[in-house]
Chains A and B, each alone.
Chain A
Amino acid sequence: MTSTKPTPASASSLTWERRRSTVARFWKAYRTHRAGLFGLAALALIALLALTAPLLVGADVQSVTQAPGTALESPSAEFPLGTDQFGRSLLGLLIWGARISLIVGLLAAALSVAIGTLVGIIAGHYGGWFSTVVMRITDWFLVMPTLVLAIVLATVMSRSMWTVVLAIGVTSWPTTARLVRAQTIAVESRPYIERATALGGGHRHVMSRHVLPNVMPLVLAQTTLGISTAILTEATLAFLGLGDPTVVSWGGMLQDAREAGAVSSGHWWYLAPPGIAIALVALAFTLCGRAVESVLNPKLGVGR
């Protein structure tokens, strides 16, 4: 999800050129943010680990019947992070768990931002009583306690990854909707929109050709920041026992550790790594998001 994706219909060489130079300018500015670069590097590393997990550790790492170790071994050469209660390698599970945690984070953030953008643009574009009603609903969602709502949704539906994605996605969109609406109104007050309308551009044309590209940077920043929230929420729901118990995720590992009584038996090596991994990824996404944000809107004054 980047702002550089060409819309197939209008992929003239001119727009291409313009977009390429935009990206180049963006990257040049982004490079000056050291924290942002650090975040990006960390993300690249973790993404690489997650993608190559099938080669690195293999799906067998999840198998309980073929677990190589005994229950709750402490770290050793064979199992650098020890084993879980089934004798599976915790390092392997940690790497494997990155896949679910990242996927859930990405999908949930994408869903949330997609809903938010759609609602925001439509409300901003049409205005009038329609906008008022939509924004009332948005406000109402905004005052809903997010975690409570997500817990309820996760309880209502069966335990699966998609439930978690949905629960996070449909509860966290209102902020994006508000921001996008404000931006939409700002964009539409510009003269060229009036020209486009005068030239016969319909609602759909204005929204998709003019408004959407202009809110895209905002959406990008919003997504990046949203992912870290989503990953934390995923861990929270899993910790409360609302995740999918049949897949391995970081939050699920923490929940497993707690259920096994790792905390009071002093098995810190079971508890510490998933938490650190969650914190690291959330931090990386936040740093990237802040860097993106400050590139797009230097006035926000995010430190370099």
Chain B
Amino acid sequence: MTTASTPADVARAEKARVTDGAPRTGSSLGYLRHAAGKLGGALVSLFAVLVTSFFLFRIIPGDPVKAMTHGVPTSAEQLATLRRQFGLDLPLWQQFTDYCAKALSGDLGTSFQFRAPVGELIAEKLPATLLLTGVAVVIYSALGLWLGTRSAWRHGGLGDRLNTGLALTLWSVPSFWLGLLLIIVFSVGMGPIPGLFPTGGMESGTGETGLAYVLDVAHHLVLPVVTLVAVGYAQTLLVMRSSLLDEMGGDYLTTARAKGLRDDAVRRRHAVPNALLPTVTMIFINLGHVAAGSILVETVFSWPGLGGLFYQALSVPDLPLVQGLFVVFAGAMILMNLIADLLYPLLDPRVGR
């Protein structure tokens, strides 16, 4: 998620976004109206994504048929057969209506290069991406929350400075580069360090079952997850830290302290829950990002997920597959944004219901 935007940037955009249009009226009717609005917006966005993905990828230069048959003895008749099989001989408007009709019934078409239904291909790769990014997001969110809280509580101190400094430095590192370095050091082995981890892939493919298989996958998971966590946790940390600092300036904390509550109790019961709010929404937004965001790490570690599939599909271009993946990537973002929007007013204690 190197490319999402700077951590501080996200934090502020997040504030601008969630405070924009969250219901301030305290009624459940207001919430329903808010929810309906957001839901409608999400549906419109999704439809726009469907349409865009068709035209966006049609402007990619490149003749899929010619690209796929390059270097293979192919006659003009064979080229024509392929074109017909792929539906590329039809006029553009007809391709578009076919696409729309199919997409609405949940059929994303058939991949050119794998000759398999796009939906099936995506379903096959989705678990790998979900596993990788899911584990990474959970770990870096937890890590970010924990370190962010510590940092904010002792802000300005040496610990805080080291903490944020390290996080920012790691955030500035290109994730693919970090991945390559980790491969050199921990996979290939360097000097006294032995090659502890596999160089790529999700499983050894030696036919393990049960526990052995789980361990095998976990073993393959370590380096890619470490890469994603190292590069990603700064966001959570900084958002948590700054929102906690905001909360700590709040009057109610002074009141709480005045009531004689101990510092850590004040923190745990009042400041942290409030500060969690923007962080949690941001984590959801991140979840939306992850599908697309792991393209790099999946490429470096040969992880059999959607990111690698997308990149491969793009170079042909395998139109149905890139379209389908784009819809999935954008759809994930829309869905997670929607969840964040719907959750926000429910979680915000200041928005009484």
Whether chain A touches chain B in the assembled complex (some CB pair under 8 Å): yes
Instruction: Name the interface residues of A213-244: CB closer than 8 Å to any CB of B.
Output: 222, 225-226, 228-229, 232-233, 235-236, 239-240
Interface check A144, CB cutoff 8 A: yes
Q: Which residues B271-321 have CB closer than 8 A to chain A?
A: 288-289, 291-293, 295-296, 299, 310-311, 314-315, 317
Contact assessment for B161 and A303 in the assembled complex, using a CB-CB cutoff below 8 Å = yes
Picked from B16, B164, B188, B289, the residue with its CB within 8 Å of the CB of A266 is: B188
Please, how many angstroms separate the alpha-carbon atoms of A266 and B181 in the complex? 10
B-facing mask of A54-72, CB < 8 A → 1, else 0? 0000000000000000000
Cβ–Cβ contact B330 & A143, under 8 A = yes
Assess whether A195 is interfacial by the CB under 8 Å rule: no
Contact with B along A134-154 (1 / 0, CB 8 A): 001001101111111011100
**Cα–Cα distance between A235 and B173 once the two chains are bound (Å):** 10
Min Cβ gap A252→B in Å is 13
A-facing residues in B16-52 (Cβ within 8 Å): 16-17, 20, 41, 44-45, 48-49
Per-position 1/0 for B175-190, Cβ under 8 A of A: 0111011011000101
Whether B333 pairs with A275 at a CB distance below 8 angstroms is: no
- Nearest Cβ in chain A — how far from B163, in angstroms? 9
* Cβ proximity bits A245-273 to B, threshold 8 Å, 1 near / 0 not: 00000010010001000011010100110
Q: Among the listed stretches B93-101, B118-126, B207-215, B242-250, which one makes contact with chain A, having 4 or more residues with CB under 8 Å of it?
A: B242-250
- Given A147-B293, A239-B174, A303-B155, A283-B242 contact (CB < 8 Å): no
Q: How far is the CB of B13 from chain A (nearest CB, A)?
A: 4
A164 to B310, CA, bound (A): 19
Query: Can you name the residue of chain B whose Cβ is closest to the Cβ of A268?
Result: B184
The distance in angstroms between the C-alpha atoms of A304 and B160, with both chains bound, is 10
Contact A145 to B330, CB < 8 A, known contacts A182-B16, A225-B8, A301-B242: yes
Complex Cα distance, B5 from A147, in Å, reads 11
Report chain B residues within 8 Å CB of A179. 12-13, 16
Which one, B55-63, B139-147, B217-225, B258-266, is touching chain A? B55-63
User: Chain B contacts of A225 at CB under 8 A?
Assistant: 5-6, 8-9
B172 sits at the interface (CB 8 A): yes
Tell me, in angstroms, the Cα distance from A239 to B295 when the chains sit together.
12
Which of A8-16, A85-93, A284-292 lines the interface with chain B? A284-292
Contact assessment for A235 and B174 in the assembled complex, using a CB-CB cutoff below 8 Å: yes
A151 touches B330 (CB 8 A): no
Q: Is there contact, CB below 8 Å, between B177 and A232?
A: no
CB contacts (< 8 Å) of B173 on chain A: these are: 275, 278-279
Is A299's CB within 8 Å of the partner chain B?
A: yes
A232 near B174 with CB under 8 A, answer: yes
Say which residue of A140, A240, A304 sits within 8 Å of B311 (CB atoms): A240
A152 and B57 contacting across the interface, CB-CB below 8 Å:
yes
Q: How far is the CB of B243 from chain A (nearest CB, A)?
A: 9
B288 and chain A: residue at smallest CB distance: A143
Q: Is B165 an interface residue (CB 8 A)?
A: yes
User: Does the CB pair A139–B45 fall under 8 Å?
Assistant: yes
Number of residues on chain A facing chain B (CB within 8 A): 59
B178 to chain A minimum Cβ distance, whole angstroms, is 8
The answer to whether A152 touches B314 (Cβ under 8 A) is yes
Q: Chain B: interface secondary structure?
A: helix
A178 within 8 Å of B (CB atoms):
yes
Closest chain-B Cβ to A219's Cβ sits at a distance in Å of 13
**Inter-chain contact A271/B314, CB cutoff 8 Å:** no
With a cutoff of 8 Å between Cβ atoms, the chain A residues found around residue B330 in the complex are 143-145, 148
User: Is B333 a contact partner of A279 (Cβ separation < 8 A)?
Assistant: no
In the complex, the answer to whether A145 meets B292 with C-beta atoms within 8 Å is yes
Contacts of A139 in B (CB 8 A): 41, 45
CA distance A147 to B181 in the complex (A): 22
When the two chains form their complex, are residues A152 and B184 in contact, meaning their CB atoms are under 8 A apart? no
A293 touches B (CB below 8 Å): yes
Query: Which residues of B lie under 8 Å from residue A251 when comparing CB positions?
Result: 174
Provide the residues of chain B in CB contact with A235, threshold 8 Å: 174, 177
Whether A303 contacts B160 by the Cβ 8 Å rule is yes
- Is B169 interfacial (CB-CB < 8 Å)? yes
Chain A residues, Cβ within 8 Å of B337: 142-143
B117 to chain A: closest CB distance in Å?
Answer: 21
Q: Is the CB of B3 within 8 A of A147?
A: yes
Task: Confirm or deny: A156 has a beta carbon within 8 angstroms of a beta carbon on chain B.
Answer: yes
A303 touches B156 (CB 8 A): yes
Q: Does A161 touch B at the CB level, under 8 Å? A: no
- CB neighbours (8 Å) of A178 from chain B are 13, 16-17, 20
Q: How far is the CA of A178 from the CA of B13 in the complex (A)?
A: 7
- Distance of A175 Cα from B282 Cα, bound (Å): 14
Cα–Cα, bound, A300→B9 (Å): 12
Q: State whether the Cβ of B329 lies closer than 8 Å to any Cβ in chain A.
A: yes
| A30 → chain B closest CB, angstroms | 16
- C-alpha gap A144/B326 in the complex (Å): 9
Q: 28 A-B Cβ contacts within 8 A?
A: A136-B41, A143-B288, A144-B330, A175-B10, A178-B17, A179-B16, A222-B9, A225-B8, A225-B9, A226-B6, A229-B6, A233-B2, A236-B174, A240-B299, A251-B174, A254-B174, A258-B180, A271-B184, A275-B181, A283-B172, A286-B172, A289-B6, A293-B8, A300-B8, A300-B12, A302-B8, A303-B156, A303-B164
Starting from the known contacts A283-B168, A303-B151, 13 additional A-B residue pairs (CB-CB under 8 Å) come to: A143-B45, A143-B334, A146-B4, A147-B295, A155-B60, A179-B13, A182-B20, A225-B6, A226-B9, A239-B177, A271-B181, A287-B168, A301-B155
Q: Which A residues fall within an 8 A CB radius of B?
A: 35, 136, 139-140, 142-148, 150-152, 155-156, 172, 175, 178-179, 182, 222, 225-226, 228-229, 232-233, 235-236, 239-240, 251, 254, 258, 263-264, 266, 268, 271-272, 274-275, 278-280, 282-283, 286-287, 289-290, 293, 299-304
